[in-house]
Each structure stands twice: as structure tokens, then as C-alpha cells.
Amino acid sequence: MRQNIAIIGAGLGGLMLARVLHRHGIEATIYEAENSPAARKQGGLLDIDADTGQRAIRAAGLHDEFLALVRPGEDAKRVMDRDGNILLDYAGDPLSSRPEVDRGALRTMLIGSLPAGGIQWARKATAVTPLSDGRYAIDFADGTAATADLLIGADGAWSKVRAILTDAKPVYSGTCFIEIGLAADDRRYATSIASVGTGTLMAVAPGRGILAHRNADGSVSGYVAVNQPEDWIGSIDFTDAGAGLAVVAEQFAGWAPHLIGLITGSIAEPTPRPIYALAPDLRWPRRKGVTLVGVAAHFMSPFAGEGANLAMLHGAELGRSIAANVDDPDAALAAYEMALFPKSNQVARLSARNLEVFFGPAAPGSAADLFRSLRGTGT
């Protein structure tokens, strides 16, 4: 078995892969561009599915630790129209098969499960080059380099490793998110905060939306969503956050004042996040000694609720496949990819359809109907 395994990226997929390998006595090195685990905010809540994300967590031997992170009842869902009328309002289910956890806490759990030195921080990969002997050279921004016998790209949407396998690149979906957040004790926006309920609010209309979640401390975090050309968001100057958000709020003229207050009252840094996605039917030819996990392999919009779940599941499945084929790692990669493509492609197509459900011409009724149907199947 080749012992020199390099994983580029310390997201959920790369961390899960390293953890499952470690459980099987196989060590790998993760190279991560960020300077430390606390270099940036890791996003909001994730719903972790019993059949995907939780299955991976069990394979990692971390299910008890995971249960300690669960936020019971925070899976409550509320759908509103632009006038503030509630179209759907489901209370949280403490026994949900998709419990909510904080992404940052989940990542911290996985980081803590790895041996010291297993992650090399501040090692941003700038180039990955196949070598004539079948290994891979990795160049880093700090001027250093490394080689790997087995290379796994867990390096996100703009993966350097993906470029070895395919020319496919993410395409802008037409929807852009802008981060928002309100303090729990801001009395000026008490009505806005109360409108979120105890879980997640989705106030949507064709081409527009406010997606917000009530945190455990009573504060609110989330996103404004607008369907606009990619260069539109780049034309807004967010140096003055209030002025930038005021421009965004103009897209919601005529909406209920308490919903607009979730935008104009935001104290979060209004970071634009254009929604990109890879083609739902993406595949790549088998290449010796290299593959992808996580967003690098299946970048999609967040509207299937499965991106993080798939990242962890595929990280776990790749780890187990390598462990089961210690004398033939390329057979391990081939078996992993054979299972990866059908499931990822199915979820990517669902995600693309759901983006239309939320912001297409039938919104918000289509969004309410979606959650009613999911509730009917117990998901």
C-alpha cells in the first residue's frame, strides 16, 4: 500500500476521510489553506441526515460526540410570502432524523479526532502536477512543495485537483446570497426577529428571498437572496455596510416592513456569496492515484440540504474503500467513484430543481408545497 496520502482541504469531506483512514491505521496529511481552525466563520446550521451524514459519523466512531452537538427542535420551518403571511409553520421535532448542528462545531469535532500534526495549516495549494512516476507534486503559496502517492482533492468549489481530472468548472446559477444577521436584544427590530420563529424562516417570492435562522442565543443569521446577473452584486459597494444593504433592500420594495428590517437592521458583514454549481451529470475518467471528495466533486446549490451530508458520506466511503483495498489503492478509487457518481448526480439535479422551487415563478407556494411533501414522507 502506498503510504504517502495527501488530502488537499480541511473541509468536512477531507476531515472525514482522514478520520476514517486513521481509524483503520492509515495515516494521511491534510494540507489546508487557512491559517488555523478559527481563521473564519464556518457557516450556520446543517441538518445531518440519518442515512448519509450520520452514517458517515458512525463510520468515524464519533456518533456519541455528534449527539452532544445536536440542537433539538431547531429544525422548525416557516414559509412566508412577501406580505408576511405565514403559508407554512412547522414546529421543531426533537426526534427528527435530520437534527440540526452548527457547522463550526461539527468541523471542530472532526479536527479534534485526528492525530497531532495530521493537518498542516497555512499550506495553500497553488498548483498540482502529475509526475512521470505516477506521483503528484503539490506547490504551496509559501514556496514549499510536497509529493503524494495518493492525492485526494477536498479543496472546494475551485479545486486545483479537479483540473487534473476534468475541464469542468462551476457555473453561476443566477442567484446570489448576501449574509445578514441581527442581535437578539435589538429592540428596534424586535418584530423582524420574532417573525423568524424558533427555527428557519423562508420568506420568498419569484427572484427574491430572505432566509434566516434563529440561533440558540436568540440572535438571527442568514442570507438575502436575489436573482441578478453576476456583475450586479459586484457593482454594490459594501465598504459602508449600511449603504450597501440599503441598495439590496431596494430589491424588496413593497415587502412587509418587518421583513425588510431583517436586511436593513443587519449587523453582519454583508458578504456576497454568488451561488455556483457544477453540471449535475459531472463524471471524470479514472486516473491513477487521484480522486475528489466533497464540494470539489459535487458542487451544488444548498437547496437539497445534502452538500455537507454527501461530503462526509463520500469521505467515509473513500476511507473505507482504501482500507479494504490496501494492496490496490486504484481499485479502491475506482470502487468509490462507481458509487459516487450516481448519488451525487441525483442530488445535484434535485438541488437545481429546488432552486427553481424557491425563487421561480410559483414561489412562495411552491416552497410551502415542497416542505409539506417532505413532512408527509417523514423527512
Nearest to 364 by CA among 283, 266, 256: 256
User: What is the H or E stretch that residue 359 is in?
Assistant: helix 329-359
DSSP notation for 155-197: --TT-TTHHHH-----EEEEEEEEEEEE-TT-GGGHHHHHHTT
Rounded to 10 deg, the angle between the 307-324 and 329-359 helix axes is: 170
Whether the link from the prior residue into 364 is cis, omega within 30° of 0, is: yes
Q: What is the chain's length?
A: 379
DSSP annotation of 1 reads -
Give me the long-range contacts of 188-195 (CB less than 8 A, separation at least 24): 188/265, 189/258, 189/261, 189/262, 189/265, 191/258, 191/261, 192/220, 192/258, 192/259, 192/261, 192/262, 192/265, 193/218, 193/220, 195/80, 195/84, 195/258, 195/259, 195/262
Is 208 marked as a binding-site residue?
A: no
CA atoms within 13 A on the CB side of 221: 12
Is 103 marked as a binding-site residue?
A: yes
DSSP annotation of 281 reads T
DSSP annotation of 294 reads G
Contact by Cβ (8 Å): 351, 303: yes
Alpha carbon distance 332, 150 (integer Å): 11
Phi, psi (deg, nearest 5) at residue 322? -65, -45
Binding-site annotation, residues for FAD: 47, 103
Binding residues: 40, 47, 103
The annotation places the binding site for NADPH at 40
